[in-house]
Amino acid sequence: MSSDTRTIIPEEAASQGLLAVVIARAVVAARAAASVLERTTRAARSVVTPLGWGVIAGGIASLVLAYGWGWTELAVIGWGLLFVAAAASLWLVGRGAGQILLTLPVPRVAVGETAEARLVARNPGRRRFSGARLEIPVGRRVVELLLPALSRGGEVDEHVGIPTDRRGIVAVGPARTVRADPLGLMRREIVWSDVRELHVHPRTVAVSALSTGYLRDLEGSPTRDLTASDIAFHALREYQPGDDRRYIHWRSSAKTGTFMVRQFEETRRSRLMVLLDLRPDAYEDPDDFELAVSVAASIGARAIRDARSLAFAVSGRWRSGRPALNRRTALNRRTAPGAEPVRSRSGIAAVRELPTASRDRLLDALCIEERDPRAAALGDVARAAAESISGVSLAFVITGGACEVADLRQAATRLPLGVETIAVRCRSEGEASARSVGGVAVYGIGYLEDLASLLARTASVA
């Protein structure tokens, strides 16, 4: 009895182990089949068009009804539809050219300049390339090209024009080849390149007045604040404990018999600030805002070229007594690359300071600046800029022709004392004018070229 039990138990254990192995292998096979089915389904969804799915569904439904009800004609229709879908899939066979490169020879242009993307297709393989249709998204439109047949080592070099009629960033690419059947049932796309970005800068004009007239103090402009160490000499005084002995004037000390030290006037470098108004109601027409951006860009580019200390700011947002633009908000919304939010101490308004490390970085940032319905009032923006940007001696306030002169005067009063303010009102195709209102120079600009002439005339008088 016991010997039979000892014989049966190992056999049952062996059978249970074999069953466990079979179940495990079945689970692995089921998972592999599910993975293959998922990949196949994903691939089918990516190549079959809605029309193709309709044809396949119609063929299957026709076959079900035909064999269920015995309709021979319906069976012929069903098999015909499935045959057409299978034949359409043959158009997707092959990969096409071995390599397609999409480049931008010039990544930055100004409005109105010619810009092109270069496309190079090569066939390094042994088989002959029969050609394919190529699609390249350029901004909001799609450019279609037909690649010719390429033998081994063959190459095609094409140039695609890019519209530059408006300031902004134009996305070019990715370049993709498209294989599709004539009926539009199947469509296969192969992506060959990444997206390239073309920066269309605002148009600028050469401004020469910033190197003379307003900003002559290369070594610094003396102030009324006295200091023990600087450049501008003020007077001599008696030595006091703690004074730097390097500034003892020995000749005067020998005459008076008392140590005398030099005293200086504290100097400051001239810093130029450009403030661009983003309020929509300040501009009568979209062209006025584009003119204002070009004016601000011209002044900023000239200051960078002259190696001047420059602060370039644009209006922040009004937020019911809260800081108009904090750091989290600036990260969540698309702002200029490198733009830093500047918060007002009063918490009423704020400005954003654009990067001025180079001309290209500044103009890249201006590519995406647009009018903002929530932009703060000009006076509040000027106050925020005055609290955040120090050392300013000359400020340009760029706005539209609809901005009232009273608003410009209020903005000038919010700036620190001693800051010379020049307000530029831009009205497209308007007459050029220059006047002084309450100590503020107000320029009227109708064309971008008016800026250079007005600044040159003012600098010659200064």
pLDDT < 70 stretches in the chain? 1-17, 19, 36-46, 92-97, 125-131, 209-234, 264-270, 318-349, 458-462
Burial class of residue 292 in the structure, from the number of CB atoms within 10 Å of its CB (0-12 exposed, 13-18 middle, 19+ buried): buried
Backbone φ and ψ of 447, nearest 5°: -135, 150
Angle at alpha carbon of residue 336, lines to 366 and 420, rounded to 5°: 55
How far, in Å, CA of 320 to CA of 310, rounded? Answer: 30
Distance (Å) of CA 367 to CA 17, 311, 375: 70, 18, 18
Task: Confirm if 275 and 408 have CB atoms less than 8 A apart.
Answer: no
Task: Confirm if 341 and 329 have CB atoms less than 8 A apart.
Answer: yes
> Which tokens in the block code for residue 292?
């204002």
**Nearest in space to 294 (alpha carbons), one of 358, 369, 351, 373:** 369
How far, in Å, CA of 321 to CA of 394, rounded? Answer: 29
How far, in Å, CA of 33 to CA of 40, rounded? Answer: 10
Region at 377 (left for phi over 0; alpha for psi -120 to 50; beta for the rest): beta
> Which tokens in the block code for residue 44?
């089918």
Q: Does the reported pTM lie above 0.75?
A: no
In this predicted structure, what is the pLDDT of residue 231?
46
Any idea which architecture 271-461 has in CATH? Answer: 3-Layer(aba) Sandwich (3.40)
How do residues 283-328 score in pLDDT, each as one tens digit?
Answer: 999 999 999 999 999 999 998 988 888 999 998 875 544 433 333 3
CATH number of 99-201: 2.60.40.10
232-238 and 260-268 strand pairing: antiparallel
- Domains of the chain, residue spans: 2-92, 99-201, 222-267, 271-461
In this predicted structure, what is the pLDDT of residue 46?
61
How far, in Å, CA of 187 to CA of 177, rounded? Answer: 10
Task: Confirm if 228 and 247 have CB atoms less than 8 A apart.
Answer: yes
Q: b or e along 397-418 (b: 16 or more beta carbons within 10 Å of the residue's beta carbon)? A: bbbbbbbeeebbbbbbebbeee
Task: Confirm if 264 and 230 have CB atoms less than 8 A apart.
Answer: yes
- The terminus-to-terminus CA distance of the chain in angstroms comes to 124
